[in-house]
């Protein structure tokens, strides 16, 4: 009877994570239908960045209004209207007028938009036409590039730096192997259509699949790299017998500035200086021992869009700047998480309080700050400025979610599933181990009872001479 009950309990434990309701019971998430299980990454919105002279200005109050009347429904967001409005009340306590430049990061997410979503900007109620700017999306010097009116050089990547262009073509279906020697302080090698690696002697090996896969292009920025070997084999590892296949080489020279400009999209949306600086930042980030293996991956998709506008805050006066940007949340099934970065406020000379409203018909299921529910949504206010990232999540239902902070965005469903399966596996192992221990104890008890019965009947086992009467 006990064994049957234990087996039923073990079966229930194993069956628990196999149902959506069981997963919800363990993770705290509601059961979700397969049709609602969508997982995409959005884009964090952000306060605008101010130029260096912003340290002379006080931001007396900031008001954020999140208008979330609908959730994004897949990649087509042409009719999507959810947005965040940021209002900055700026005060100039000095005796001189202070000119400012503001940079608004366009938080367009590739999952939801084609990149043409615009921000609307106004100063004291009057619309402003900003200048569109671009930086490499992973750059650490965005502000430097945005402030620059010209091309910024870095290392060997100067506008007039010489570039040797070598284009290789292999007529065989085998693999073309090239070996180069160069000094990293004098040469940067950029590859298109190749896989690269270093051997034990420090020589660089580049491999290209021949045939109809196109050509391999090698750009030597600075001093030309020296090609020490070239051969074709049937295998990519180059360990097979060398073939007598034909390959060709075309060589020409140019400058790094001309090379970068030749890659700039013809639509002209990205300015010449922004494109050049983005190219330099991309190569600096991709550099591995003086080598960039995927130079052909560089393109317009590598850039982040910004809106730049200028104005003057008069001495002793106030100006209100308003920016309206689209909102693109992270989507985890039926849960929509929004993020807003407030750290750019550190650039102001001083800042007062903040008021936040979330105008939405949906339920607030988690937040990094304590919102108060009211008519038409939720609100938060305080008379000092909270730095960091505001995070909150919305859902169409009253789904319960543990509050999360800017340091933890909450576990996703996949993470929860892994945790649940690990817990269940541990329970099964413990249950099996306990069953084995119980079984062994029962056997030992039965053996002891048998020996005790044999002793009472005078039938002792033969233990040798010491046991004889």
CATH code for the domain of 385? 2.60.40.3680
Q: List pLDDT tens digits, range 313-344.
A: 999 999 999 999 888 888 888 899 999 999 88
Domain total for the chain? Answer: 3
Structural domain ending residue among the three candidates 377, 400, 423? 400
Give the pLDDT of residue 40.
Answer: 76
The answer to whether position 50 is within a domain reads: yes
Task: Tell which of 238, 269, 298 closes a domain.
Answer: 298
Please give the radius of gyration of the chain, using alpha carbons only, rounded to the nearest integer: 33
Together in a domain, 59 and 183: no
Closest CA to 392 of 27, 32, 45: 45
101 lies in a domain?
Answer: yes
**Structural domain contains residue 238:** yes
Planar angle of CA 171, 172, 176, nearest 5 degrees: 95
Residue 393 sits in the same domain as residue 419: no
Indicate if 447 and 373 belong to the same structural domain.
Answer: no
pLDDT reading at 465 higher than 60: no
Contact 201, 237 (CB under 8 A): no
Residue 33 has pLDDT above 80, yes or no: no
Position 347 in a domain: yes
- 62 and 186 part of one domain: no
252 and 189 belong to one structural domain: yes
CA distance 142 to 54: 17
The answer on 294 and 218 residing in a single domain is: yes
pLDDT tens column, 36-95: 336 777 777 889 999 888 999 999 999 999 999 998 776 556 667 889 999 999 999 999
d(CA 467, CA 469): 7
**Phi, psi torsion values for 302, nearest 5 degrees:** -85, 0
Q: Which domain covers residue 8, as residue numbers?
A: 2-29+415-456
Mean pLDDT of 392-400: 79
Q: Does 95 or 34 have the greater pLDDT score?
A: 95
| pLDDT at 437 exceeding the cut of 80 | no
What is the distance between the alpha carbons of residues 313 and 93, in angstroms, rounded to a whole number?
A: 10
Predicted confidence band of residue 454 (pLDDT cuts 50, 70, 90): low
**Residues 39 and 118 grouped into a single domain:** yes
Cα 132 to Cα 105, 150, 272, 307, 337: the distances in Å are: 10, 15, 13, 5, 28
Q: Is the domain of 174 the same as that of 292?
A: yes
Going by C-alpha positions, the residue among 419, 409, 321, 306 that lies closest to residue 365 is: 409
| pLDDT given for residue 338 in this prediction | 93
Residue 303 lies in a domain: no
Out of 135-139, 140-144, 286-290, 310-314, pick the least confident.
140-144
The C-alpha atoms of residue 393 and residue 369 are separated, in whole angstroms, by: 11
What distance in Å separates the CA atoms of residue 5 and residue 100, rounded to the nearest whole number? 75
φ, ψ at 162 (rounded to 5°):
-70, 145
Q: How confident is the model at residue 463 (pLDDT cuts 50, 70, 90)?
A: very low
Residue 410, domain member (yes or no): no
In this structure, are 49 and 124 located in the same domain?
Answer: yes
Band (pLDDT 50/70/90 cuts) for residue 138 is: confident
- What residues have CB less than 8 Å from 302, skipping those under 6 apart? 136, 137, 278, 282
pTM of the model: 0.69
5-14, 122-131, 180-189, 420-429: least confidently modelled range: 5-14
DSSP state of 242: P
Residue pair 323/119 in contact (Cβ under 8 Å)? The answer is yes
**pLDDT score, position 211:** 74
Residue 94 lies in a domain: yes
Domain-located, residue 406: no
Mean pLDDT of all residues belonging to the chain: 79
Burial readout 189-206 (b: 16 or more C-beta within 10 A, e: otherwise)? bbbbbbebeeeeeeebbb
Mapping DSSP to helix (H, G, I), strand (E, B) and coil, where does residue 237 land? Answer: coil
Q: Give one DSSP letter per residue of 75-143, joined into a string.
A: S--TT---EEEEEEEEE--SSS-EEEEEEEE----TTT--S----EEEETTEEE-PEEEEEETT-S-HH
One domain, residues 291 and 375: no
Q: 303-313 and 131-136 as β-strands: parallel, antiparallel, unpaired?
A: antiparallel
| Residue where a domain terminates, one of 400, 425, 443 | 400
pLDDT of residue 322: 97
pLDDT of residue 142: 74
Tell me the angle at which helices 20-27 and 413-456 cross, rounded to the nearest 10 degrees: 90
In this structure, are 167 and 250 located in the same domain? yes
Question: Where is mean pLDDT largest: 74-88, 95-109, 244-258, 419-433?
Answer: 244-258
Say whether pLDDT at 428 is over 50: yes
Does residue 254 share a domain with residue 214?
yes
């Amino acid at each position: 009877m006990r064994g049957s009950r234990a087996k039923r309990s073990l079966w229930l434990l194993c069956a628990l994570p196999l149902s959506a309701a069981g997963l919800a019971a363990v993770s705290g998430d509601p059961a979700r239908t397969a049709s609602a299980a969508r997982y995409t990454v959005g884009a964090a919105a952000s306060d605008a960045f101010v130029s260096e002279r912003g340290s002379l200005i006080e931001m007396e109050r900031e008001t954020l209004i999140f208008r979330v009347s609908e959730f994004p429904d897949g990649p087509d967001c042409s009719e999507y209207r959810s947005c965040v409005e940021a209002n900055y009340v700026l005060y100039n306590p000095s005796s001189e007028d202070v000119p400012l430049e503001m940079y608004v990061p366009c938080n367009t997410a590739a999952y939801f938009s084609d990149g043409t979503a615009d921000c609307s900007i106004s100063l004291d109620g009057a619309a402003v036409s900003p200048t569109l700017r671009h930086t490499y999306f992973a750059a650490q010097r965005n502000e430097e590039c945005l402030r620059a009116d010209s091309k910024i050089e870095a290392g060997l990547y100067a506008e007039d730096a010489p570039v040797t262009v070598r284009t290789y073509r292999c007529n065989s279906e085998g693999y073309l192997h090239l070996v180069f020697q160069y000094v990293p302080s004098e040469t940067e090698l950029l590859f298109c259509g190749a896989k690269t690696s270093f051997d034990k002697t420090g020589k660089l090996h580049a491999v290209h699949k021949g045939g109809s896969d196109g050509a391999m292009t090698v750009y030597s920025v600075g001093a030309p790299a020296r090609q020490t070997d070239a051969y074709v084999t049937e295998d990519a590892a180059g360990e097979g017998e060398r073939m007598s296949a034909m390959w060709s080489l075309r060589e020409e020279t140019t400058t790094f500035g001309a090379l970068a400009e030749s890659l700039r999209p013809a639509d002209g949306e990205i300015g010449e200086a922004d494109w050049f600086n983005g190219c330099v930042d991309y190569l600096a980030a991709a550099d591995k021992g003086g080598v960039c293996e995927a130079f052909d991956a560089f393109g317009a998709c590598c850039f982040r869009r910004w809106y730049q506008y200028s104005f003057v805050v008069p001495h002793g006066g106030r100006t209100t700047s308003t920016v309206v940007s689209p909102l693109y949340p992270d989507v985890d099934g039926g849960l929509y998480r929004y993020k807003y970065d407030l750290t750019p406020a550190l650039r102001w000379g001083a800042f007062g309080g903040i008021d936040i409203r979330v105008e939405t018909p949906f339920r607030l299921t988690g937040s990094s700050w304590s919102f108060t529910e009211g008519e038409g949504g939720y609100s938060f206010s305080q008379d000092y400025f909270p730095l960091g990232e505001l995070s909150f999540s919305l859902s169409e239902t009253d789904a319960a979610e543990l509050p999360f902070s800017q340091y933890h965005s909450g576990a996703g469903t996949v993470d929860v599933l892994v945790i649940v399966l690990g817990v269940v596996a541990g329970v099964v192992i413990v249950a099996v181990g306990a069953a084995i221990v119980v079984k062994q104890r029962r056997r030992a008890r039965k053996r002891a009872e048998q020996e005790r019965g044999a002793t009472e009947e005078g039938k002792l086992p033969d233990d040798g001479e010491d046991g004889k009467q």
